[in-house]
Copies of this chain bind each other. A is one copy, B any other.
């Protein structure tokens, strides 16, 4: 009886969620689905994320085969991340999730609207 989603589980849903699950992973994938970015570019493009979390998530996504890490051996180092071929198969799934989520947000607002209008900080449009 696993405690964490991170443990291997035979359940496909858990398997999928364990890949995107992480406070900033969705946002990271969103950013990279537009174009490859350097670590620091990513960090600056995601308000609120810390370098620590960014790197931890990047490493997990690389480990899972979703991202590819290109490193040019220079000084200072220049590392660029991009979505792998395999990672691309994830994009349509994210779109479905996003579509449902957008609808859910509409449904939920009406009460508790704190941000509904204020331009969304990140990962806003599909």
Binding site for B on A (CB under 8 A): 1, 3, 5, 8, 10-17, 19-21, 23, 26-27, 30, 47-48, 65, 86, 89-90, 92-94, 96-105, 107-108, 112, 114-116, 118, 120-124, 126
Minimal Cβ-Cβ distance residue in B for A120: B10
User: A89 contacts which chain B residues (CB < 8 A)?
Assistant: 100, 103
**What is the distance, in angstroms, from A86's C-beta to the closest C-beta of chain B?**
8
Distance (whole angstroms) from the CB of A25 to the closest CB of chain B? 9
Q: Please tell me if the beta carbons of A26 and B13 are within 8 angstroms of each other in the complex.
A: yes
With A1-B48, A21-B17, A97-B17: A112-B12 Cβ-Cβ less than 8 Å: no
Given contacts A21-B17, A23-B5, A65-B107, contact A11 B48 (CB under 8 A): no
